[in-house]
Structure 1
């Protein structure tokens, strides 16, 4: 079975383990790229864009951890 190219916001919420309203905010703010389709303007997120978003968040988190270590370096 092939994966669906486009995901509903509810699918994205499940993938990220967050609420649908959080995903909607991420889309509306431009944080997560999405398209609006159909007469009712339903939002869809391309699976590849979601994977890119996740990779970006890993990189941002790694940079944050580097800048904010859990413990202070020992003074020499």
Structure 2
């Protein structure tokens, strides 16, 4: 696995468009940096894995809240 991903790599792995991957970066939800004369975006592997873990935790919390609401 490479240490850094392009936004195209991220989009492919998440099965989303490149535009959606860029939106994740612009919103700050996915940490990335620009490099090179053309300012190409790169996402460090560990940051990408952290992003995925956060998404799993967020989903688990939402499901737990929904479960609590249905019990009331």
Q: Does TM, scored on the shorter chain, surpass 0.5?
A: yes
Shift in Å, 1:29 = 1.1
Provide the residue aligned with 1:23 in structure 2: 21
Normalising by structure 2, we get a TM-score of 0.91
Where in structure 1 do 4 or more consecutive aligned residues deviate above 6 Å? none
Number of residue pairs the alignment of both structures matches: 71
TM (norm. structure 1) is 0.86
Q: How does 1:1-76 map to 2 (within 5 A)?
A: 3-69=1-67, 72-73=70-71
* RMSD (CA atoms): 1.4
> Which structure: greater helix fraction?
2
* Runs of 5+ consecutive residues of structure 2 not aligned to the other structure: none
**Structure 1 residue runs without a partner (length 5+):** none
Structure with max Cα Rg = 1
